[in-house]
Amino acid sequence: MQLLNTQDLDKQNISSLNLPAINYLFNRVTNKKRADIEFEIELQDKSTRWVLGSMNQSKTTGEYILVVHDITQLRQLNSMRRDFISNLSHELRTPVSVIRANSETLLDGALDNKKEAKTFARAILHNSERLSSMVSDLIDLSRIEYGDLKLNIKGIDFNDFMESFLVSMKSVAKKRDIELKYNPDHQGLLSADTQALERIMNNLLDNAYKYSDEGTLVEVSTKDQGKMIKVMVADSGVGVSDEDQEHIFDRFYRTASARASDKQGSGLGLAIVKNLTNSLNGEVGVESKHDSGSIFWFTIPIG
Ligand code: ADP
């Protein structure tokens, strides 16, 4: 009734609904006994919905029966699936074609030149590593989304966690000549899963290093928000424009400058961060201005 914007269909003429799709159904059903149509309608609040209308004629009474289903969500899911498959094929094709082209060049004669052969072999190795990290990110993402990832949620002291985590992250930072600092401002336990926290922090710090210049500072800090702890990862790198901020947590989204640069990436890291923080009952976000660094943050319940 809400879909068709009417209170009572009883004794109403079908044409009074003023919906061409329903009139079409009615014309078809008089010849065929049953007809279906998918159409888009605008509701009173100006939102649009997709509707599946089916009409048939009762054999016994001769009455026409109209059934309408709101299929907007189904349509959105289908379009998300189509986008996902098209993005995935596009992302996988690039490394695969590089591997193929380089192997062909090797077989066509470059193998005989040791120096050249090394360059092509390196490109093959580099792109196969890229492929394999994309595939494992995808497997992780689908496990998280389907709820297959078993989380072991328990009380975790984030300061202890960071102490051991920073040891491994500092050596990576040193390689990139980046200073890594930890500035906590909370106490007590978080309710989280250690591996999930590691994954979240790894992805955020990886990005902070990747999108910053050498010689800069990356700072992790925390804030007590009562029921939640907010963890912030701040860098002074390239930053994210307002427009890109709306999309960077989507699967495969990479900003135009990230794509244009030689920085490796699949565009899946932040989608994994978002899914994992949601699984831990937290939220995720970013504050940033183009060219003046970013603060990626997430919240985790106090445990
Ligand atoms: P990628 O594998 O490309 O790094 P992510 O999902 O981790 O994929 O990030 C998506 C995009 O968000 C990146 O391509 C980059 O454009 C942008 N981004 C992520 N982290 C940062 C950051 N710390 N500073 C600037 N841009 C970032």
The 10s digit of each residue's pLDDT in 65-78 is 888 899 998 988 88
pLDDT on residue 10: 65
Asked whether the whole model's pTM tops 0.85, one would answer no
Where are the strands (E) in the chain, listed by range?
A: 34-42, 48-57, 64-70, 154-157, 179-183, 189-192, 217-224, 228-235, 284-288, 294-301
2 has a pLDDT exceeding 70 = no
Q: Give the CATH number of domain 2-70.
A: 3.30.1300
Angle at 187 between CA 171 and CA 220, to 5 degrees: 30
Q: Helix, strand or coil for residue 110?
A: helix
Task: Name the CATH topology of 154-301.
Answer: Heat Shock Protein 90 (3.30.565)
Residue 268 to residue 275: CA distance in whole angstroms: 11
What are the tokens at 71? 């299929």
What are the tokens at 124? 């093959």
- In the structure, what pLDDT confidence band is assigned to residue 292 with cuts at 50, 70 and 90? confident
Distance 127 CA to ligand 1 centre (A): 19
Q: What residue segments make up the domains of the chain, in order of their start?
A: 2-70, 80-145, 154-301
pLDDT on residue 33: 78
Locate the ligand 1 atom nearest the alpha carbon of residue 293 and give its number: 24
- In the structure, what pLDDT confidence band is assigned to residue 1 with cuts at 50, 70 and 90? low
Distance 160 CA to ligand 1 centre (A): 27
Ligand 1 binding pocket (C-beta < 6 A) is: 203, 207-208, 211, 235, 237-240, 248, 253-255, 258, 265-271, 294
| CATH class of domain segment(s) 80-145 | mainly alpha
Locate the ligand 1 atom nearest the alpha carbon of residue 253 and give its number: 10
- Per residue in 244-264, pLDDT (tens digit) is 999 999 988 889 888 888 777
Distance 255 CA to ligand 1 centre (A): 7
Distance 6 CA to ligand 1 centre (A): 48
Residue 271 to residue 252: CA distance in whole angstroms: 8
- Per residue in 104-155, pLDDT (tens digit) is 999 998 899 999 999 999 999 999 988 998 898 888 888 888 878 889 999 9
User: What is the residue with the minimal CA distance to atom 13 of ligand 1?
Assistant: 254
> What are the C-alpha distances in Å from 24 to residues 36, 75, 113, 298, 300?
10, 22, 71, 52, 54
Identify which of 248, 263, 264, 284 to mutate to test ligand 1's pocket (most ligand atoms within 8 A of the CB): 248
Q: Helix, strand or coil for residue 3?
A: coil
